[in-house]
Chains A and B, each alone.
Chain A
Amino acid sequence: MRHFEQELEKLKSKLLEMSALVESAIYRSVQGVVEKNEELAQQVLRNESRVNQLEIEIDDAAISLLALQAPLAADLRLVTATIKINNDLERMGDLSVSIAQSALALIKEPVIRPLIDIPHIAGLAQGMVRKALDAFVNRDPELARSVLASDDAVDNMRTASYHELISFMATNPQQIPQALYLLSVIRNLERIADHATNIAEDVLFLVKGIDVRHHNEERSAVPQR
């Protein structure tokens, strides 16, 4: 294997390590909320620094590859997609931390009814993250497209949950602080789903060289003659 390919492999394995860390941070933070699991929520806070460190290492490695190896074609798309996916993963890590903090705040409070659809939204968002990362690993454009299709469902569930929570707060003003934490959790899950969508878009760019962001389904990332 050429030196350049070895460097590219190192970059990919760092991104996969970052993916695994962020995926488990999302899972643990959700368990913190849904199962009131304090230990898992605490683990998310403890692992944050490793995610941040990896973000810097991946950017550094990618920029070095661009500067020193001037990659082209599929290699160029891989390095640029990695930089973008890295950024999305780090943001997802931050959002998990925020969910874990909400979980810790909610743990001592009684479960409020209705418990809103958090388990359902979390399941959908986690599924999108897993599919987006699998699509990256397996270079699977169809799987990436299936992630894009799920984004609207998460948005709709968030809106429905907001309405539900607002009604709940109107009738149970003494539980507004808890409801606000739940509101924050829902918002963070929806943002995680957005980042998963970004990753799926980057996978389509990586594999097919097309740019589907902002519903540009037909636009090619490079001009066609």
Chain B
Amino acid sequence: MTTPEQPIVKERAPARASDSDTNTLPSTSKLNAKNINFFYGSFQALHDISMDIQSNKITSFIGPSGCGKSTFLRTMNRMNEALRNTRVEGDLLLDGENLLGMDVTYVRRRVGMVFQKSNPFPKSIFDNVAYGLRVNGITKKSIVEESVEKSLTRAALWTEVKDKLHKPASALSGGQQQRLCIARALAVEPEVLLLDEPCSALDPIATLKIEELLFQIKDMTTIVIVTHNMQQAARLADYTGFFLLGKLIEFDDTRKIFQNPNKKETEDYVTGRFG
């Protein structure tokens, strides 16, 4: 969990002075992975992954089970470190800073995560969303209330729960619980939001609500989503990466990946001729 002495307002990477002085466009990448290798014990799960994740865009990772897409996603907020006997090599930069060398709670405040299975705390709806703020030392009632409403509104849940904020979160439907988890993640205003198959247990209507809310919030945060649903990747993502056997086979504009991919492996996977 986060430590109170860390400021809730994040230090953003300073704009590079040279950007305005020269004709070069400012870099819009939020995260840069360079030659990332990841090991579970002696098993190498990721091989030499390099990619730029663009700011305020939705990037999706697709690929068969066990291809490394979730492992790579989890590397981006250091979730894999909770597992024993794992090792990561390479560089992962967040706004140009070494993410792998930062304080882990600081990383997780800047890079939020939503999981496949919604995991609300056994608390009220309100307290779930307020949780991140309180552990960060924000306790003033009016600020917390305002932030909870804002986060629930962004997560497209406010109108459904505003009259039962103090009811247990567990009383919500699966789709509502997942949106609550997104609201909880958004409350601390993360710069990056990672989602690991967030809709795999949801019905199509709940799925569309999540997708709509991701569109709504992408001007505020950079989104990376792992999905098994290729139509979801096609609908949502600006950029799509295809992983296979721990390697990033192809990473490109989503339309390119789904209309005319460069690599045969990608073509075989997206047309269902894989394996």
Contact = CB atoms under 8 A, between A and B. Distances in A.
Contact of B267 (A4, A73, A224): A73
Contact of A73 (B231, B252, B253, B261): B261
B158 interface: no
Contacts of A76: 258-259
Contacts of B270: 72-73
B260 A223 contact: no
Given A70-B231, A72-B234, A225 B271 contact: no
Contacts of B123: none
A222 interface: yes
Contacts of B267: 73-74
Given A4-B272, A72-B270, A74-B267, A222 B231 contact: no
Contacts of A224: 253, 256
Contacts of B261: 73
Contacts of B252: 225
A71 B231 CA distance: 10
B230 interface: yes
B255 interface: yes
A209 interface: yes
B271 A221 contact: no
A209 B272 contact: no
Interface in A27-84: 70-77
For A2, A4, A73, A223, the residue with the greatest tally of chain B CB atoms inside 10 Å of its CB is: A73
Nearest to A2: B272
A222 B270 CA distance: 16
Contacts of A73: 258-261, 266-267, 270-271
Nearest to B239: A225
Contacts of B260: 73-74, 77, 209, 220-222
Given A72-B234, A77-B260, A222 B271 contact: no
B258 A72 contact: yes
Contacts of B272: 2, 4
Interface in A176-225: 209, 220-225
Contacts of A225: 252-253, 256
B71 to A, nearest CB: 25
Contacts of A2: 272
A72 B62 CA distance: 14
A4 B258 CA distance: 17
A81 to B, nearest CB: 12
Interface in A5-38: none
Nearest to B234: A72
Given A73-B270, A75-B271, A209-B260, A223 B234 contact: no
Nearest to A70: B231
A29 B234 CA distance: 46
A209 B267 CA distance: 12
Given A73-B261, A73-B270, A73-B271, A222 B234 contact: no
A223 B253 contact: yes
Nearest to A223: B253
A225 B254 CA distance: 11
Contacts of A209: 259-260
A209 to B, nearest CB: 3
A224 B231 CA distance: 21
Contact of B230 (A72, A74, A222): A72
B260 to A, nearest CB: 3
Interface string B199-213: 000000000000000
A224 B253 CA distance: 7
Given A72-B270, A74-B271, A225-B253, 14 more contacts: A2-B272, A70-B231, A72-B234, A72-B259, A72-B271, A73-B258, A74-B260, A76-B258, A209-B260, A220-B260, A222-B253, A223-B253, A223-B255, A224-B256
Q: Which 8 A-B pairs have CB atoms at the shortest separation, nearest pair first?
A: A209-B260, A72-B270, A222-B259, A222-B255, A222-B256, A72-B258, A73-B270, A223-B253
19 contacts: A2-B272, A71-B271, A72-B230, A72-B270, A72-B271, A73-B259, A73-B260, A73-B261, A73-B266, A73-B267, A73-B271, A74-B271, A77-B259, A77-B260, A209-B259, A223-B253, A223-B255, A225-B252, A225-B256
Interface of A: 2, 4, 70-77, 209, 220-225
Interface of B: 230-231, 234, 252-253, 255-256, 258-261, 266-267, 270-272
